Structure 1
């Protein structure tokens, strides 16, 4: 496929210290690189019952699942509440708790935040049909504590990209921001994020006060949020075929976390804690299959306890400049890049878009820095597979951009791309 360099357009909680600019850039850069390596080193074998360490439940009763949760259908609203929306141009805000499914299709309760632009609920002249356009934005969330979720960080200053959501709001779009890591903050479980995203869209479209039942839907996200976005798009034809998804914009997406594990070294890194946290998150989502505990030394066990309820800033600080050899037993550290355990391989494949068989039906804009530490070659291969399957695919490789800088270039293009899809214009493709 030919790679286009420009896109046509019309027109977290209580961390001990909030990351400074350099840490924030590095956080996005290391989102998946270190995560994949820690997964390869530690998640093997059959765990004893209760091996995973889960976060402290959110004390706010709004997030609690009812005992009859299984009687709700995916996307059904369990409860709702209005919320103040500081920083969002007079938008009206709601939070919804809804039924979704985990990676094993067990019922879970998940939350989302809905922003409706000033002027109230109802239709907008920015869409080609039906009600006001609905954009579901999946943030990158690198945390293990439930208090770090977007429903908190969206308003307390911890979500770095929150201000960018004013752009779609000024276009007259409603914006959905799901807590896509789920009720146990299962950082790293990308397929879970896709299911929660789709069910959050179902929920806000069923929420009568928002008047979004006839709204067309767009999906957008970057890095970890791009993984949730990509899985939502790939799952939608089978999991939520009724949703009118008109476009998908995903950037900086790690297409295969298993292959990334083979490319990452085992030397100390300032952001090692992020990868270690992702291993903990997958351990939570797959407790019957994965267990890191027996592979950890005393230092590793202490680190796991320390960050089990932490947001990104504390995770980075606690794990700074460590390596496999600091937290894993020698045999496990040495085997870190020798992935032979079939259960681990299956879990990695289930959470990697390259190896997930589903293909989006909606048109996709995918952007990626050509100097990104997340392998650009795998992104090209993923785009090629989608093209071969008939998905209208526009791939933009951003010249000279790495994982941190590409987000700044791509988000305005992503919103412009989505504007054209909501307007009913033909989707561009460079397949």
Structure 2
């Protein structure tokens, strides 16, 4: 796309967005407020947006690697992707992945000189891995992850343990991933800090554990898509275990993550039995905090409120793996999704929604969260009927304004009822402070699992 045209279109889109937002606040004119008799047809406001703003001009593009789309949808799918990083390990789509095993290493690169100074612990080596994985709908895909190995030799029993540290990437741009940042040394955003709020990686390295940091949003940066996250995480473990001369064939692995990272750890625990059953005796536990367990509940609580920017970003990210969403984006949403917004990092997502933009302004169907396509996506991404393959440590801030505490409590009760050893902690504070207050207990629990200590449970 011509970026001068894109900038002009984005300015027009923002003008339409501002007008639409004001219309919601003060009431729309009667001609726009009228609904068509057909309840599935766009509302007057939605028709007004598309009438005022033409669709963005998009160049023709090939069918995406995750399925066949119409030429128009294929062009839009390519346009909403994160721009390339310039590094082939993140950008290049490998050939013949259908003949590779899940977790098979495609490429690896030593990044010790760049990555080690970013970690406040003695690092022996850091390796960036690219491996075969699976897209949300089952098509061959790939993943990337960084393996950090301590400088000191492991003197404990068995192989050196590995902590799988799922960072809260929460971003739309490939340059925001921990793998890219550790490989290139760029740090222009708070989300790129390896231990931004808690010293998870450094603490593990100081204990002698290796740390595996997956880029769990996958190559399309599908923020919060649990199937993609689980498959990338589990395939990263497979990749580490299968590396030539690997010292991790007999190692214990444990998962940890908070908020967006908790989605990855939770999903990996729930999908392990189906997707990677050979890892059932390898992964010894998962600790997760600030977790979204019910996408429908959280989407409705974010819609049109202070967290609306996060919801809109998640919908765009989901469309990259579930392209049928694209058909329900209006012209305004198409302009924004094909603008530099598709490359932002996590700290920009909240401010994007500060004015409380409802999802309906970006859709061409009324009540998009109650639509057939929403029902389909919620069903595909709901793991509520799954049983964890590993013991769980669940913690949540008691006064979390973003994600209801009740979801974490229900997850604990449900998994206990299914026979999963579990521990639950309600932490003081809100969503951000809950990470800091919950970290010590979660890390101690993980430390015990990686040492092979008996698994505690507080299920009654």
User: If the TM-score is normalised by the length of the shorter chain, which range does it land in?
Assistant: 0.7 to 0.9
1:225-272 deviations in whole A, cap 9, x for unaligned?
1011000001111211212111110111110011222334524x3x53
2:412 to 380, 383, 387: 383
- Quick check: 316-325 or 65-74, which moved more? 316-325
Change (3 A) 1:62 1:340: closer
1:183-209 deviations in whole A, cap 9, x for unaligned?
111112122101100000110111235
Return 5+ residue gaps in structure 2 as ranges.
1-45, 47-68
What is the aligned length?
A: 370
1:300-343 deviations in whole A, cap 9, x for unaligned?
333222211222244445554241279436x74x6155x131x3
Say whether 1:258 aligns with 2:286.
Answer: no
Change (3 A) 1:66 1:56: same
Say whether 1:290 aligns with 2:321.
Answer: no
1:358-384 deviations in whole A, cap 9, x for unaligned?
211211100011211311112111111
For normalisation by structure 2, the TM-score amounts to: 0.75
In the alignment, the residues of structure 2 paired with residue 197 and residue 103 of structure 1 have an alpha-carbon distance, to the nearest angstrom, of: 13
Say whether 1:426 aligns with 2:426.
Answer: no
2:423 to 394, 401, 408: 394
**Mapping 1:17-416, distance limit 5 Å:** 49-50=73-74, 51-52=76-77, 53-63=80-90, 64-84=92-112, 85-88=116-119, 89-91=121-123, 92-119=125-152, 123-125=154-156, 129-154=157-182, 155-157=185-187, 158-160=191-193, 162=195, 163-243=199-279, 244-264=282-302, 266-267=304-305, 269=306, 271-287=307-323, 289-291=324-326, 294-298=328-332, 300-306=333-339, 307-324=341-358, 327-328=361-362, 332=365, 335-337=367-369, 339-341=370-372, 343-354=373-384, 357-373=385-401, 374-398=403-427, 400-416=428-444
Return 5+ residue gaps in structure 1 as ranges.
1-41
Do the aligned partners of 1:297 and 1:327 also contact (CA within 8 Å) in 2? no
Do the aligned partners of 2:299 and 2:311 also contact (CA within 8 Å) in 1? no
In the alignment, the residues of structure 2 paired with residue 335 and residue 264 of structure 1 have an alpha-carbon distance, to the nearest angstrom, of: 14
- 1:58 is displaced (CA, Å) by 2.9
Do the aligned partners of 1:110 and 1:196 also contact (CA within 8 Å) in 2? yes
In the alignment, the residues of structure 1 paired with residue 230 and residue 312 of structure 2 have an alpha-carbon distance, to the nearest angstrom, of: 22
Do the aligned partners of 1:124 and 1:133 also contact (CA within 8 Å) in 2? no
In the alignment, the residues of structure 2 paired with residue 83 and residue 95 of structure 1 have an alpha-carbon distance, to the nearest angstrom, of: 7
For normalisation by structure 1, the TM-score amounts to: 0.80
In the alignment, the residues of structure 2 paired with residue 413 and residue 156 of structure 1 have an alpha-carbon distance, to the nearest angstrom, of: 31
In the alignment, the residues of structure 1 paired with residue 258 and residue 155 of structure 2 have an alpha-carbon distance, to the nearest angstrom, of: 26
- 1:160 is displaced (CA, Å) by 4.2
- Quick check: 409-418 or 315-324, which moved more? 315-324
Structure 2 residue matching 1:112: 3-state secondary structure? strand
In the alignment, the residues of structure 1 paired with residue 439 and residue 122 of structure 2 have an alpha-carbon distance, to the nearest angstrom, of: 22
In the alignment, the residues of structure 1 paired with residue 146 and residue 245 of structure 2 have an alpha-carbon distance, to the nearest angstrom, of: 14
In the alignment, the residues of structure 2 paired with residue 273 and residue 179 of structure 1 have an alpha-carbon distance, to the nearest angstrom, of: 22
- 1:297 is displaced (CA, Å) by 4.9
In the alignment, the residues of structure 1 paired with residue 247 and residue 310 of structure 2 have an alpha-carbon distance, to the nearest angstrom, of: 39
- 1:210 is displaced (CA, Å) by 4.5
1:82-102 deviations in whole A, cap 9, x for unaligned?
102213223110011000001
